[in-house]
Amino acid sequence: MFQNGAVKRLDAINIIAFASRIGREEALANQHLELDGATAERIARLLEERGHGKPLAYITQKKEFFSEEFYVDERVLIPRPETELLVEEGLKILGEEKGERLVLDMGTGSGAIGAVIAKKTQQKVLCIDISVEALSVARYNAQRLNVTEKTKFLCSDLFNGLREAVRFDVIMANLPYVAVDEWGGLMEDVKRFEPRKALLGGKEGTEIYEKFMGQLPGRLAEGGRVLCEVGGQRQAELIRDRLRARGFSVITRKDLSGVERVLIGKWTSSS
Ligand SMILES: C[S@@+](CC[C@H](N)C(=O)[O-])C[C@H]1O[C@@H](n2cnc3c(N)ncnc32)[C@H](O)[C@@H]1O
């Protein structure tokens, strides 16, 4: 992204393909074909939006995540490649044992985590988000991925709206974890276009996770696992300590850039 109205060529090709309702390869292969006036105007408007920083995914209303195409718009965070690590770890755990398992995707946003888990494992997944608007995007994505039967959606502030008796085998959470003092350092297009509530996690970035961990006891089945995406060593240490203090045994996974990205806590009542 450029700040001066310029647009990367690859983004421009994607925009031409989107506005012409053809694939990117087709757009590249048929460069001699003419655009009708309405399409040309649409392309010009979308290029201008991109030049002003609107993320490409919001313009083309799609983002690939775990080799699936998700619908996205400004109501949801654009799924990030680093979140694929959380999904990979969840799939490993769910692949370890046979039988029915109940999964929770806390802070589902576009539904990317929950829908991929439901599709790949055929297990039942409850998707929770505090945003009604995000949940309608998540529901739509579950339809697109053909997992409507396997997914349920609940608008709730963390566990507050969930009846007590429900216990999960696996809880996956990518909750907001940007600290207030990190906000200024984020890319302009993230700050201007992505939902603040999906990113900001309070002063240290861990406020929502702290509340979440306070509500975890009683929400996991015996031997159940919680997987949390975090933003690096400082947060990983804090959340790891809190989980251990609550009786979880915890392991940490780093992403491809070597950043501590996923914490996996195992709950046993004897621990
Ligand atoms: C970082 S985004 C993650 C979205 C999606 N899971 C992903 O990985 O792309 C965090 C999500 O948590 C939701 N959220 C924030 N506070 C919440 C709360 N107290 N209870 C439930 N969801 C919350 C936001 O609305 C947002 O959709």
Identify whether residues 33 and 154 lie together within a single domain: no
Which CATH number covers residue 245? 3.40.50.150
Can you tell me the distance from the alpha carbon of 207 to that of 213, in angstroms, rounded to the nearest whole number?
10
Residue with structure tokens 């001066």?
4
The response to whether residue 86 sits with its C-beta less than 6 Å from ligand 1 reads no
The domain tally of the chain equals 2
| Ligand 1 centroid from CA 97, angstroms | 28
The protein residue whose alpha carbon is closest to atom 14 in ligand 1 is 107
* Residue 208 CB–ligand 1 contact under 6 Å: yes
Domain interval for residue 21: 9-60
Query: How many Å apart are CA 85 and CA 261, to the nearest integer?
Result: 8
Q: Which residues pair with 105 in a beta bridge?
A: 127, 172
Instruction: Determine the Cα–Cα distance for residues 15 and 13; give it in Å rounded to an integer.
Output: 5
Q: Give tens-digit pLDDT for 205-251.
A: 999 999 999 999 889 999 999 999 999 898 999 999 999 999 999 99
How far, in Å, from the CA of 175 to the mean position of ligand 1? 5
Report the pLDDT value the prediction gives residue 2, as an integer from 0 to 100: 47
Residue 245, pLDDT score: 92
What pLDDT does 3 receive? 55
**One domain, residues 32 and 108:** no
Residues 94 and 200 both lie in one domain: yes
Q: Both 117 and 234 in a single domain?
A: yes
- Cβ neighbors of 265 (< 8 A, separation 6 or more) are 225, 226, 227, 228, 243, 248, 249, 250
| pTM of structure | 0.94
**Which of 105, 128, 136, 174 has the most ligand 1 atoms within 8 A of CB, as the residue to mutate?**
174
Q: Each residue's pLDDT tens digit in the chain (271 positions)?
A: 445 778 999 999 999 999 999 888 888 888 788 889 999 999 999 999 999 999 999 999 999 999 999 999 999 999 999 999 999 999 999 998 889 999 999 999 999 999 999 999 999 999 999 999 999 999 999 999 999 999 999 999 999 999 878 899 999 999 999 999 999 999 999 999 999 999 999 988 999 999 999 999 889 999 999 999 999 898 999 999 999 999 999 999 999 999 999 999 999 876 5
67 located within any domain: no
Instruction: Please report whether residue 127 resides in a domain.
Output: yes
> Ligand 1 pocket: which of 89, 108, 128, 261 to mutate (most atoms <8 Å of CB)?
108
- Same domain membership, residue 46 and residue 23: yes
Pair (197, 129) in one structural domain: yes
Indicate whether 65 belongs to any domain: no
155 and 33 belong to one structural domain: no
Phi, psi of 236 (to 5 degrees): -60, -45
For residue 180, tell me if it sits in a domain: yes
Same domain, 38 and 131: no
